[in-house]
């Protein structure tokens, strides 16, 4: 099977313990940025239970934590990406690094505050957390805009590397959650020490990804980017690319991105409310729900990895868009499963339900990867950097619309 990555690069990089070609090292660095893109969001999401417990599940702050966090994050991402997409002449490597610095700073501050006083649960502290969510979302927008601009210039395989990195950032936290539930089954105590370590680990992962990306970028041939965002070359090699031009070329690709997220973000609603048709400790909800999340993320990872091989890559934008629409058929199938311990589910099988979740994840990762890999194929060379910011806007729009759309399914599973 023919790989879709690495090409014919023969320049070797000796790392001491292994030898890679420069293109392979570049692929790994973009995969690391993909991990750093999604890990902060997953960290805030995974910490929801901890913060809800701190503020009190029955309190106004506790009840509104998750929805407020997601709203602040998605709105900030949409606004940030919209602004960044209009600033097309920039040092995109620096944008990535600035984004990484913002995310590292946000989580180190959060870890420090939790370490100093883990009993904080005031409205002021709630506001502070939301401010850090905002800072993290701005940082992620800088990373997203910068890395996708560079990936579009370097080739579709680098966009696929970012997609794989994001999938890894989805699998590892869900695996961690599943293992913790297996170890601490029916233990309701949550140590503040573990959450501090989780925040510090997020900072470490983000820092390592940034260092690898920075070092690899410096090893590669110099690219024609401005030295910094405040001192931009007054004679860019290409002109400003209007949104209208980009949309005329990428309309099916960006609509695919929006539609994929609109459909996929109903997944947490089903995963959180579908229980096992069997009874017993091994099928306890505390295990079954994290298992569904883990299996979905494994499917997502599988779909993105498949795009590393040419036969699995769909390049036609109309076909990709049709693919994103066809995924809707999975939603009614999930509705037939054992939602909230239904007495007579149409699909009374845990195996079929988990396979549906896996397939849901596969199609999510595969369709998204195909869409992002198709971007440079439909743009002229002088439009590819601008296309990175353009697609980031629609990614944020898809997340926002998906979050809103998911609320429509709450009454159906309640």
* CA gap 315, 378 in Å, rounded: 10
Dump pLDDT digits (tens) for 91-119. 888 999 999 999 999 999 998 998 888 77
Spacing of C-alpha 124 from chain mean position: 29
pLDDT in the model for residue 230 = 39
Q: Report whether pLDDT(223) > 60.
A: no
More confident call, 13 vs 339 = 339
Confidence of residue 13 (pLDDT cuts 50, 70, 90): low
**Mean pLDDT score across all residues of the chain:** 81
DSSP label of 281: G
What pLDDT shows up at residue 364? 94
Residue 143 confidence (pLDDT): 92
Domains recognised in the chain with CATH numbers: 20-413 (1.20.1250.20)
Residue, of 281 and 159, whose pLDDT is higher: 159
Confidence of residue 227 (pLDDT cuts 50, 70, 90): very low
Section 62-79 average pLDDT: 82
**Residue 285 pLDDT:** 64
**Is 315 in a helix, a strand, or coil?**
coil
**E strand map for 229-338:** none
Q: Helix and strand tally (H, E) in the chain?
A: 15, 2
The owner of tokens 């601008």 is: 386
Residues whose CB is less than 8 angstroms from the CB of residue 30 and which lie 6 or more positions away in sequence, other chains included: 147, 150, 151, 158, 161, 162, 165, 213
pLDDT band at 137 (very low <50, low <70, confident <90, very high): very high
pLDDT-above-90 percentage for the chain: 30
Q: Residue range 248-260: average pLDDT?
A: 94
Q: Which residues contact 316 (CB under 8 A, 6 or more apart)?
A: none
pTM over 0.85: no
**Rounded CA separation 408/406 (Å):** 5
What is the arithmetic mean of pLDDT over 18-40? 83
**280 membership: H or E segment, kind and range:** none
Give me the pLDDT at residue 224, please.
41
User: In the predicted model, is pLDDT for residue 2 greater than 50?
Assistant: no
169 close to 38: Cβ distance less than 8 angstroms: yes
What's the rounded Cα separation, in Å, for the pair 385 and 402? 26
DSSP conformation class of 121 = -
């Amino acid at each position: 099977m023919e790989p879709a990555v690495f090409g014919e690069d023969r320049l070797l990089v000796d790392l001491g313990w292994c030898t890679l070609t420069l293109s392979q090292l570049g692929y790994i660095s973009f995969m690391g940025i993909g991990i750093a893109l999604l890990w902060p969001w997953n960290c805030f999401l995974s910490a929801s239970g901890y913060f809800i417990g701190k503020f009190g599940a029955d309190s106004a702050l506790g009840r509104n934590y998750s929805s407020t966090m997601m709203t602040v994050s998605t709105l900030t991402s949409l606004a940030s990406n919209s602004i960044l997409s209009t600033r097309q002449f920039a040092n995109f490597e620096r944008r990535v690094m600035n984004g990484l610095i913002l995310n590292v700073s946000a989580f180190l501050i959060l870890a420090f505050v939790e370490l100093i006083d883990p009993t904080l649960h005031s409205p002021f502290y709630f506001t502070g957390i939301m401010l850090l969510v905002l800072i993290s979302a701005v940082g992620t927008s800088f990373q997203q805009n910068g890395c996708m601009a560079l990936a579009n210039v370097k080739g579709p395989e680098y966009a696929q590397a970012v997609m794989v990195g994001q999938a890894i950032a989805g699998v590892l936290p869900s695996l961690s959650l599943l293992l913790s539930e297996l170890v601490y089954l029916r233990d309701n105590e949550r140590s503040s020490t573990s959450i501090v370590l989780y925040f510090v680990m997020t900072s470490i992962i983000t820092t390592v990804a940034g260092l690898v990306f920075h070092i690899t970028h410096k090893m590669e041939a110099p690219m024609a980017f401005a030295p910094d965002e405040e001192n931009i070359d007054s004679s860019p090699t290409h002109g400003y690319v209007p949104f209208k031009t980009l949309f005329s070329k990428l309309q099916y690709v960006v609509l695919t991105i929006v539609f994929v997220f609109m459909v996929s973000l109903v997944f947490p609603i089903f995963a959180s409310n579908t229980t096992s048709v069997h009874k017993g400790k091994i099928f306890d909800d505390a295990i079954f729900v994290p298992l569904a999340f883990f299996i979905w993320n494994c499917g997502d990872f599988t779909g993105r990895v498949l795009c590393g091989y040419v036969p699995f890559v769909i390049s036609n934008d109309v076909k990709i868009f049709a693919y994103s629409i066809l995924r809707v058929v999975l939603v009614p199938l999930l509705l037939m499963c054992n939602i909230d311990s239904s007495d007579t589910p149409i699909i009374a099988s845990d195996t079929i339900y988990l396979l549906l979740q896996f397939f849901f994840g596969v199609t999510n990762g595969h369709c998204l990867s195909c869409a992002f890999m198709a971007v440079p194929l439909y743009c002229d060379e002088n439009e590819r950097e601008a296309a990175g910011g353009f697609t980031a806007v629609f990614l944020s729009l898809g997340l926002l619309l998906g979050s809103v759309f998911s609320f429509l399914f709450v009454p159906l599973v309640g």
